[in-house]
Amino acid sequence: MGMAVLNYNLAWRMDVELPQFPPPLMIVVQEYRAQAPLPSYYQLYPQPADIEVRFQRQTEWLIHHQTHIRCIWDRDYEAHQP
């Protein structure tokens, strides 16, 4: 059944002719798809606003990490100066 659902979902996403399965298998595929609906395009792929927020968080974390490392290096440097 897994391959049947995969093929059906792939055809659905690509907007091509849906595969023809024997009636008992088609019933099972439809029941499964009713329980686990196919996510929309916007749920599958991040949108620009979401990506900007993610990169902003990553940039803030990186700057925080770099600052922390610089402080450690500065302390070590000062500790070893005559």
**36 and 2, same domain (yes or no):** yes
**35 and 52, same domain (yes or no):** no
Instruction: Give the pLDDT of residue 66.
Output: 96
Domain count, the chain: 2
Instruction: Give the pLDDT of residue 61.
Output: 95
pLDDT beneath 50, residues of the chain: none
The model's pTM: 0.41
Residue 80 structural domain: 46-82
Of 23, 15, 43, give the one whose Cα is nearest residue 4: 23
Instruction: Give the pLDDT of residue 44.
Output: 78
Instruction: Give the pLDDT of residue 74.
Output: 94
Instruction: Give the pLDDT of residue 72.
Output: 95
**26 and 56, same domain (yes or no):** no
- Only one residue has tokens 């439809």, namely 30
